[in-house]
Chain A
């Protein structure tokens, strides 16, 4: 926590600016201090040395006079003189009297240390050769020993006669210099301390005033802005860069405030708009859902209706099928009930007619007979057509020799041809095979042949021919009878159409050719009639699938 705070401090702009500044100041101050101390110290040393030299040279005669004076009466008094000297120059720590040979006669330090021994004086020599040599020198010698901090001055003494017998040795201490230096350093440090404190304070105040507080103010502004208080005005009046920055900041802040206000207003408008639109959309969605629901309901209803309809259609279809079956059954039953009574009529009436001798009664029987025949034809053909029209009627297709079938039919209807003496010429190839329903084929041929016989003159011949064309067998039945007009040909297959309606042919029901057309079409073939014109005969053509062909019969 503390370390973090310190780090924060360390990272502060103040520290970054002020600390290097202080270090530089301190360095400058210390360097200058050292230079001053050095110079002052040298000057002081020179003063001490110079003082020592002049003191020595001035005091040497005095020392020697007193030495000689008190030599015999002991050195007690002389010591006092030396004390006085030492008091005059406090740097003086030792005074010695030596002769030119280096013999020591007096040593003030020994006396002051209480080591005074009279007997030794004049017996001992100075400590080293250099000192001894110097004692012998006629000139004063000054030796400054920096290591010991001593100034050693050897001052020769000349008596009035001019002889050089003794020298006074002065030893000065430079200890005072150290003290002076120390004092100086303390002073300088004191001043420098004061200076640094003052400088620091000044820098701090100035920095605060010019840099830190405006930046702080800006920071506050920026923070305020970041917290959302736009339009914050930074209170910096200075004309420097920070001032410019502050002005720019204030402008920006004001602009931002305006922008934000605009934005807020826009946002409010937008919110309002969005709310309105949302409401509209919700309304629309609701309506759509309603519509959807309505649609679903409608669809369900439709489904139900559809199902009902389907069911009803199914029911109706079943009903219709049932009705159709009932109809078929009804037709069959009706056929049975209609046909049975016709048997006796059409067979017994001709017998009676033949046997009747009375012409009037015979004619009556003839009319009865004819009408019974007509009724028989009508009933049989109508029922045949009804059966052919029924969707439940199925054909059973077999392969058969056409020649043989035609012969069989001719054989069965022999009586019909014999009556009119009409000959039938079957020219069909013996190998030609067709695919047909045997009973329907018989019906078809019987109908056509009956027609041909009916419209042929007695003694004529009807020619039956056939040829294979592609997958079909084309059968033609040609007579030499009354022939047909184009209008008659066009209408011959219409139900209940009679070729000669004006004649009101009692023999014709007008259904025979319709039945033929239905039978041929159900075999997948076609039927048509050709005639060169009235009186020139008629040819009926029809096609049936050849035995090799795979033509499926129509339902």
Chain B
């Protein structure tokens, strides 16, 4: 079972991702929702280490970049693959996402494409 942490402030987003994964892929994936950056660290500190983190960029208080920087700064979490989720079309978000993260997925998310990308990222991480 693959543990996927989804960091997104919108509950509907979390809901449909979770529902879709459950419906389409059953128990192959477990979605661990985090409604904010703070919640994400809370969970991580509670020894909930996911196989991959899906990180939304546009979030109130702590945005995706800050979360990313803190994750990469911590030796315990820096190896966790990160896939950015972005609804913004600005190149800064896309490029930076593509360069520093393992992958990125443009919103609106298509669950099957997201799954492919997650699998690819996990494959790459395993090779390391």
Residues of A within 8 A of B (CB): 328, 331-333, 335-337, 339-348, 351, 376, 380, 383-384, 386-387, 393-394, 396, 411-415, 438-439
Interface residues of B in 15-56 (CB under 8 A from A): 15-17, 19-20, 23-24
Contact A347 B91, beta carbon cutoff 8 Å: no
Instruction: Contact check, A340 vs B10: say whether CB atoms are below 8 A apart.
Output: yes
User: Which chain B residues border A415 with CB–CB below 8 Å?
Assistant: 112-113, 116
B62 CB within 8 Å of chain A: no
User: B91 contacts A394, CB within 8 Å?
Assistant: yes
Most buried by A among B17, B112, B120: B112
* Residue picked from A333, A384, A386, A439, most chain B C-beta under 10 Å: A439
Question: With a CB–CB cut-off of 8 A, which chain B residues contact A411?
Answer: 116, 120
Contact of B15 among A328, A332, A344, A380 (CB under 8 A): A344
Main DSSP-derived SS at the B contact region: helix
Min CB distance, B98 to chain A, in Å? 6
Instruction: Give 19 CB contacts A-B under 8 Å.
Output: A332-B90, A337-B87, A339-B87, A339-B108, A340-B10, A341-B12, A342-B107, A343-B16, A343-B109, A346-B108, A347-B19, A348-B19, A380-B106, A384-B89, A394-B91, A411-B116, A411-B120, A412-B116, A412-B117
Q: Quick one: closest B residue to A414, CB to CB?
A: B116
Q: Inside 8 A of B16's CB, which chain A residues have their CB? A: 343-344, 347-348
- A-side contacts of B17, CB under 8 Å: 343, 347
- Expressed in whole angstroms, the Cα–Cα distance for A346 and B98 within the complex equals 24
Q: Is the pair B98, A439 in contact by a Cβ cutoff of 8 Å?
A: yes
Taking CB atoms, residues of chain B closer than 8 Å to A340 are 10, 12-13, 87, 107-108
Is B70 close to A, CB under 8 A?
Answer: no
Minimum CB distance partner of B111 in chain A: A347
A344 touches B107 (CB 8 A): no
A336–B60 CA distance with the chains assembled, in angstroms: 14
Chain A positions within 8 Å of B110 at CB level = 346-347
Contact between A344 and B89, CB atoms less than 8 A apart:
no
The yes or no answer to B78 lying at the interface (CB within 8 A) is no
Answer whether residue B95 sits at the interface, using C-beta atoms and an 8 A cutoff.
Answer: yes
Residues of B whose CB lies within 8 Å of any CB of A are 10, 12-13, 15-17, 19-20, 23-24, 58, 87-91, 94-95, 98, 106-113, 116-117, 120
**Contact: B87 with A396, CB < 8 Å?**
no
User: Residues of B contacting A336 with CB < 8 Å?
Assistant: 58, 87-88, 107
State in angstroms the CA–CA spacing of A340 and B12 once bound together.
9
Residues of B within 8 A of A345 (CB): 108
In the complex formed, the residue of B with least CB distance to A345 is B108
Q: 3 closest pairs, A vs B, by CB?
A: A342-B108, A344-B16, A336-B87
- Once the chains are docked, how many angstroms separate the CA of A380 from the CA of B86? 12
Check A376 against B108 for contact (C-beta < 8 Å): yes
Q: Which residues of B contact A333 (CB under 8 A)?
A: 88
Set of chain B residues within 8 Å of A343, measured between Cβ atoms: 12-13, 16-17, 107-109
Q: Which residues of A contact B58 (CB under 8 A)?
A: 336
Q: Which residues of A contact B107 (CB under 8 A)?
A: 336, 339-340, 342-343
In the assembled complex, which residues on chain B have CB atoms less than 8 Å from the CB atom of A412? 113, 116-117, 120
A37 vs B98: C-alpha distance when bound (angstroms): 161
**Known interface pairs A335-B87, A344-B12. Does A351 touch B117 (Cβ–Cβ under 8 Å)?**
no
Chain B residue numbers with a CB within 8 Å of A386 are 89
The contact of A351 among B12, B19, B90, by CB within 8 Å, is B19
Smallest beta-carbon distance B5→chain A, Å: 18
Q: A348-B20, A351-B20, A439-B94 are in contact. Are A335 and B89 (CB under 8 A)?
A: yes
The docked-state distance in angstroms from the alpha carbon of A337 to that of B24 is: 26
Q: Is the CB of B13 within 8 A of A335?
A: no
Minimum Cβ distance to chain A for residue B31 (Å): 13
Q: Are B89 and A331 in contact (CB under 8 A)?
A: yes
Residues of B within 8 A of A393 (CB): 91
Complex contacts, A337 vs chain B, CB 8 Å: 87
Do B95 and A396 touch across chains, with their CB atoms under 8 A apart?
yes
Task: Quote the shortest CB–CB distance from A397 to chain B (angstroms).
Answer: 11
B30 shortest CB reach to chain A, Å: 18
Q: Do A383 and B19 touch (CB < 8 A)?
A: no
Contact between B88 and A332, CB atoms less than 8 A apart: yes
Q: Which residue among B24, B88, B108 has the maximum number of chain A CB atoms within 10 Å of its CB?
A: B108
Given A343-B16, A387-B91, also A380-B108 (CB < 8 A)? yes
For A342, the chain B residues whose CB sits under 8 A away are 107-108
